[in-house]
């Protein structure tokens, strides 16, 4: 149960087939494995010891794959860094994780140089740059001797994935080889991956959703097409060029993709599966996606970094607008292999079907804990159950529904409003491209429901039209009290989630909240 075994297996089966396509270059499995083994040798050369942390600061690329396998091959622990974070957070993570080695895209050199003085111990940095055979990274690989796999595996720590919590300092989620391999095996089953799959990596690999798929896809032996970041035009060009069959997106990306004017210019016939996660799919977005990509099966995974990351899965057959299976679309699915999932009340006891409580998960995907934070670990993982902080319920057929992030519910006049319900309603309007709903201060109700709405290009939309639509469909207390029409796109996080905090905080700035 070594992550590296998946690479050895795929390389032994198909040494000459394409493993990676990145920055216009193809790497065979044999070549990819050779580079991994050399990177491991290079890390040993600069002193890496068993369990040492190695970080990476980069956009998506082949180096991310080499890092993900070369570090455990050499006996180390990976620490992928969110490349959207400000220097203060990066400094915090590098200090907190005790990282001694850093692989970095040269684009980040000024940033790294700028914060080096603030580090408790200065890591050794190997810079690389796409297409530069003379970078320190490439020179270290060329000079290194291959080394034997140090066989970290089973319950050994594989990586520390720092989550950017909405409050407080980032927390370092410790995932073991077993955690990530279990996720890989259940992913292979759920996504029906095999050696004919061509997978497009376009969500950031520093996040566990994308990063865990490095391991899933190498274990499955698929061909990996890697784009540095999400760009709808680039994605549309890459699909026919590489005959991509499968990819992961977040709903916002799917929305942007299907609204791309040049969508119809590309032959997307190779595409069979689009998985999405991180947030539910508005029905209107799915309707448009199904209409414009009729051959594609959509499926949803729900989880979090602490769950390696998948906990539930909603199959493609439930992504339909008509028929008996249509009602499941609001669900995040049913537990993945090995996951016990239940809904807990505030007293920690399981609740009956239909009642809303906290979603908790037990099984081989639950993290080992938060790095150097036993208190936070003890709060999150109790008796083997990971407490997700998400509110939801289970229906009588065993499907789970996320009502909202517990912390994200708007409490207005003493009643709870799930912002997702309001967002769904606004998305029904044909003129709406994007929207975000959250609470803003109100003198009587503490919070009032507020909506920010972006119209589709060239379409007219007024706040009154949004309000009228909501009033016709929602309960009075759920309706927005105010609507802001915004012309530029909503701000997205590095992982493609709408950054509500950025929209909400200005409203609360003078309230100390």
| 354 is a site residue for a copy of itself (CB under 8 A) | no
Piece of the chain touching a copy of itself by CB under 8 A; list 3-11, 160-168, 404-412, 452-460:
3-11
CB 179 within 8 A of CB 154: no
319 versus 362: smaller Cβ distance to a copy of itself = 362
Q: Which of 98, 146, 338, 389 binds a copy of itself (CB under 8 A)?
A: 338
| 9 is a site residue for a copy of itself (CB under 8 A) | yes
Closest CB 222 distance from a copy of itself, rounded Å: 13
Closest CB 362 distance from a copy of itself, rounded Å: 9
DSSP secondary structure of 376-412: HHHHHEETTEEEEEEEEEE-TTS-EEEEEEGGG-EEE
261 versus 324: smaller Cβ distance to a copy of itself = 324
Q: In the range 355-394, which residues lie near a copy of itself by CB under 8 A? A: 363-364
298 versus 385: smaller Cβ distance to a copy of itself = 385
189 versus 468: smaller Cβ distance to a copy of itself = 189
Give Cβ neighbours of residue 468 (< 8 Å, ≥ 6 apart). Answer: none
93 versus 217: smaller Cβ distance to a copy of itself = 217
Residue of 326, 369, 287, 308 whose CA lies nearest to 178: 308
| CA distance to 87, 90, 98, 259, 457, per residue, from 119 (Å) | 11, 10, 10, 44, 46
CB 174 within 8 A of CB 370: yes
Q: Which of 188, 253, 274, 289 binds a copy of itself (CB under 8 A)?
A: 188
Sheet holding 223-226, edge to edge: 25-28, 18-22, 223-226, 198-201, 246-249, 273-276, 297-303, 310-314, 334-335
Round to whole Å and give the CA distance between 415 and 370: 34
Closest CB 188 distance from a copy of itself, rounded Å: 6
| 189 is a site residue for a copy of itself (CB under 8 A) | yes
Closest CB 315 distance from a copy of itself, rounded Å: 10
Tell me the pairing of strands 273-276 and 297-303: parallel
Q: In the range 205-264, which residues lie near a copy of itself by CB under 8 A? A: 219
**How many amino acids of this chain bind a copy of itself (CB under 8 A)?**
24
| 297 is a site residue for a copy of itself (CB under 8 A) | no
Closest CB 189 distance from a copy of itself, rounded Å: 6
> End-to-end alpha-carbon separation of the chain, Å?
47
67 versus 182: smaller Cβ distance to a copy of itself = 182
| 1 is a site residue for a copy of itself (CB under 8 A) | yes
Closest CB 278 distance from a copy of itself, rounded Å: 24
Q: In the range 111-170, which residues lie near a copy of itself by CB under 8 A? A: 154
Q: Which of 120, 340, 395, 502 binds a copy of itself (CB under 8 A)?
A: 340
**Degrees (nearest 5) of the Cα angle 3, 4, 5?**
90
Using CA of residue 260, residue 263, residue 268, residue 269, what is the dihedral sign?
positive
2 versus 64: smaller Cβ distance to a copy of itself = 2
**Degrees (nearest 5) of the Cα angle 420, 230, 28?**
130
Tokens 């996504």, located at residue:
191
Is residue 134 exposed (0-12), middle (13-18) or buried (19+ Cβ within 10 Å)? exposed
5 versus 124: smaller Cβ distance to a copy of itself = 5
Tokens 């890697």, located at residue:
226
Tell me the pairing of strands 198-201 and 171-176: unpaired
Q: Which of 228, 297, 335, 496 binds a copy of itself (CB under 8 A)?
A: 335
Closest CB 236 distance from a copy of itself, rounded Å: 31
Collapsed DSSP state (helix, strand, coil) of residue 156: coil
354 versus 398: smaller Cβ distance to a copy of itself = 398
Structural tokens at position 513: 């909240």
Q: Which of 181, 268, 435, 448 binds a copy of itself (CB under 8 A)?
A: 181
Site residues (vs a copy of itself, CB under 8 A): 1, 5-6, 8-9, 12-13, 154, 181-182, 185-186, 188-189, 219, 334-335, 337-340, 363-364, 398
């Amino acid at each position: 149960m070594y992550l590296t075994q998946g690479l050895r297996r795929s390389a032994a089966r198909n040494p000459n087939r394409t493993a990676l396509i990145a920055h216009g270059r193809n790497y065979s499995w044999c070549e990819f494995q050779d580079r991994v083994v050399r990177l491991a040798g290079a890390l040993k050369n600069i002193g890496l010891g068993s369990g040492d942390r190695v970080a990476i600061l980069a956009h998506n690329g082949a180096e991310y794959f080499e890092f993900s396998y070369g570090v455990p091959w050499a006996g180390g622990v990976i620490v992928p860094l969110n490349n959207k974070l400000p220097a203060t957070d990066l400094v915090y993570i590098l200090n907190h994780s005790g990282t001694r080695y850093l692989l970095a895209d040269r684009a980040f050199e000024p940033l790294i140089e700028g914060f080096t003085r603030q580090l408790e111990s200065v890591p050794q940095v190997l810079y690389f740059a796409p297409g530069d055979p003379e970078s320190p990274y490439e020179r270290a690989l060329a000079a290194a001797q291959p080394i034997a796999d140090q066989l970290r595996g089973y319950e050994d720590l594989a990586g520390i994935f720092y989550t950017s919590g909405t409050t407080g300092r980032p927390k370092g989620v410790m995932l073991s080889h077993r955690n990530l391999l279990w996720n890989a095996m259940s992913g292979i089953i759920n996504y029906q991956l095999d050696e004919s799959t061509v997978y497009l990596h376009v969500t950031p690999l520093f996040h566990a959703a994308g990063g865990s798929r490095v391991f899933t896809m190498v274990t499955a032996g698929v061909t990996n097409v890697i784009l540095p970041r999400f760009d709808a035009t680039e994605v549309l060009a890459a699909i026919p060029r590489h005959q991509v069959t499968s990819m992961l997106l977040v709903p916002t990306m799917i929305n942007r993709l299907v609204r791309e004017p040049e969508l119809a210019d590309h032959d997307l016939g190779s595409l069979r599966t689009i998985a999405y996660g991180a947030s539910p799919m508005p029905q209107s977005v799915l309707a448009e996606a199904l209409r414009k990509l009729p051959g594609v099966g959509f499926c949803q995974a729900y989880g979090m970094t602490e769950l390696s990351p998948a906990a539930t899965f909603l199959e493609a057959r439930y992504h339909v607008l008509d028929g008996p299976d249509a009602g499941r679309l609001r669900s995040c699915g049913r537990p993945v292999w090995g996951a016990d999932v239940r809904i807990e009340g505030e007293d920690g006891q399981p609740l009956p079907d239909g009642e809303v409580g906290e979603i908790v998960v037990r099984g081989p995907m639950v993290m080992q804990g938060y790095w150097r934070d036993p208190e936070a670990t003890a709060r999150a993982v109790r008796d083997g159950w990971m407490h997700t902080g998400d509110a939801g319920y289970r229906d009588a057929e065993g499907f789970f529904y996320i009502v909202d992030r517990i912390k994200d519910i708007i409490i207005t006049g003493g009643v709870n409003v799930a912002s997702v319900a309001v967002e769904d309603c606004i998305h029904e309007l044909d003129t709406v491209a994007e929207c975000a709903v959250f609470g803003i201060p109100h003198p009587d109700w503490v919070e009032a429901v507020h909506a920010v709405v972006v119209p589709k290009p060239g379409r007219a939309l007024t706040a009154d039209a949004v309000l009228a639509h909501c009033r016709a469909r929602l309960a009075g207390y759920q309706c927005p009290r105010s609507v802001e029409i915004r012309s530029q796109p909503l701000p997205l996080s590095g992982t493609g989630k709408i950054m509500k905090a950025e929209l909400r905080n200005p409203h609360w700035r003078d309230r100390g909240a």
